[in-house]
Amino acid sequence: MTRLFIYGTLKRGHCRAGVLRDQHYLGEARTRPRYRLYRVDQYPALVHAEPGVGIEGELWDVQADCLAELDRIEAVDAGLYRREVIELEVDDQQQPVEAYFYLPPTEGLEDCGRCWDG
């Protein structure tokens, strides 16, 4: 089981939420202010940033088969995103929390602030 911070199209009510339908939703969460969200067409891009903001999202426990599907959707093998540990504002987790970080340059992209609304 992997604990994931979800911040975009996979959040409940968004276009890819169905991918997580059989996984365990843990609740809302916010990161420490060390990140930024940018708009890339119809999806968000999370990056490390100083100064950053606290990004709002959701926590999920995800099984290995679903995680493999998410890696495919997020184009991890193609180098679009990479799963890394992320720091939460309230870090009372018993295990590390990971998130998908965008790898291409973000210059010229719209900053989405604390929350991506699609």
29-56 pLDDT, tens digit each:
999 999 999 999 889 999 999 999 999 9
Q: Give the Cα separation of 4 and 27 in Å (integer).
A: 11
Q: Give the Cα separation of 26 and 19 in Å (integer).
A: 16
- Domain 2-107: top CATH class: alpha beta
Say if pTM beats, i.e. exceeds, 0.85.
Answer: yes
pLDDT at 117: 82
Average pLDDT of 4-21? 91
Task: Output phi, psi for 33, to 5 deg.
Answer: -80, 65
Residue 118 has pLDDT above 80, yes or no: no
Domain borders along the chain are 2-107
